Amino acid sequence: MTKSDQKKDNKSLSSNKESKKTQAEEMSSKEETVEDKLKTTEEKLLRTLAEMENQRRRFEKERQEAFEFGGFNFARESLSLLDNIDRATASFKNDDTLKNNKDFDKIIDGIEIVKKDLISIFKKNGIETIECLNKKFDPNFHQAMLEVENDNKEPGTVVQEIQKGYMMKDRLLRPSMVGVTKKREQTAEKTTNDEEKTIKK
């Protein structure tokens, strides 16, 4: 075998080796891309499953709220019935001509029966009045309509209920309209005058 033949054989062997290397590299890169694709697909699948689970939980929560609070707007509108019954009773009791009527007590009793039935229906559906008198003012449940000067109670205490407030389970149907205490202004002026006298001395 001549030297030129040996060189040709060596070249062909080296080229075969190189081609095998490139084929192996291509195969390994293809395998990596397949693995990468598999990982990507797995991640997408996991994300999709998580989104589906979140969607299912949201739907379940919305369904539960719709079941519990479906009549929320209706309940809020119905509160005016109670208000009107109270107003009617108060106006009947203040009317002297009606007071003299022999059936006056029967009329008032009939109205009170309707009111009690309405209140019992509200209670069955989780609607309760907010107890606010002599409690600390809470803007989450109370709406201040006026301030009452009072030194006997701590400022910010509810002393007057103008309109009843109601809760439906954990939700506020309507805030209580209330009168809240504040310190007398004269007392504050006396305090500042006393302070000024003390400073002068």
pTM over 0.75: no
What is the per-residue burial (b if ≥16 Cβ within 10 Å, else e) of 17-26? eeeeeeeeee
Using a 10 angstrom Cβ sphere, with 0-12 exposed, 13-18 middle and 19 or more buried, the burial of residue 119 is middle
Name which CATH class applies to 128-201.
mainly beta
CA distance 157 to 182: 8
Give the pLDDT score at 65. Answer: 73
Measure CA of the first residue to CA of the last residue in the chain; give whole Å.
129
Q: Structural domain boundaries of the chain?
A: 1-69, 71-125, 128-201
pLDDT 10s per residue in the chain (201 long)?
565 565 555 555 555 556 555 665 555 555 568 888 888 899 999 999 999 999 989 888 888 777 666 777 888 888 888 889 988 888 888 888 877 788 888 888 899 999 999 999 889 888 888 888 888 888 889 988 988 888 788 888 888 888 889 998 888 889 999 999 888 776 445 555 556 655 655
CA distance 113 to 108: 9
